[in-house]
Amino acid sequence: MAAFEVVAKQFVTHYYTTFDGDRKSLGALYRDNSMLTFESAQSLGTGSIVEKLANLPFQKVQHQVTTIDAQPAASNSIFILVTGQLLVDDSEHPLGYSQAFQLTQDPAGSWFVQNDVFKLNLG
């Protein structure tokens, strides 16, 4: 497994474990120039992204990842596409979703989310 694939898998595991447990804690993964597009609504910067994620209209969520595809990208970046299902609150009917991340490495060597696009796969 290539190094970028290892980073991608570790990131995805950490991201969804944190999201499902305490999504307000996801702020550490973003920077002031990060952008989230969640169901076509854009949020720019850590504060705006955390506010969006914290105020989603459900209390409990459980992500079930089906696939993780990763590619190395320009400028010390990794592009990741995740597909899966999620259960919200007490629903017994999972919702399909796709989420794309672009991770970028900062000068200190830490990875952060530069871009994040989330879509439910309905219909």
Contact assessment for residue 101 and residue 111, using Cβ atoms and an 8 Å cutoff: no
Per-residue pLDDT tens over the stretch 71-103: 999 878 999 999 999 999 988 899 999 999 999
Domain boundaries, the chain: 3-121
Q: Is 116 exposed, middle or buried (0-12, 13-18, 19+ CB in 10 A)?
A: buried
3-121 in CATH: which number? Answer: 3.10.450.50
38 secondary structure, DSSP code = E
CA distance 113 to 11: 10
Q: Which residues touch 120 (CB under 8 Å, ≥6 apart)? A: 39, 95, 96, 97
Position 74 scores a pLDDT of 86
C-alpha of 56 from chain center: 14
Per-residue pLDDT tens over the stretch 48-79: 999 999 999 888 999 999 999 999 998 789 99
Distances (CA, A) of 31 to 39, 45, 79, 91, 111: 20, 6, 17, 33, 10
Whether the full predicted model's pTM is greater than 0.85, yes or no, is: yes
Closest listed residue to residue 101, CA positions, set 31, 36, 21: 36
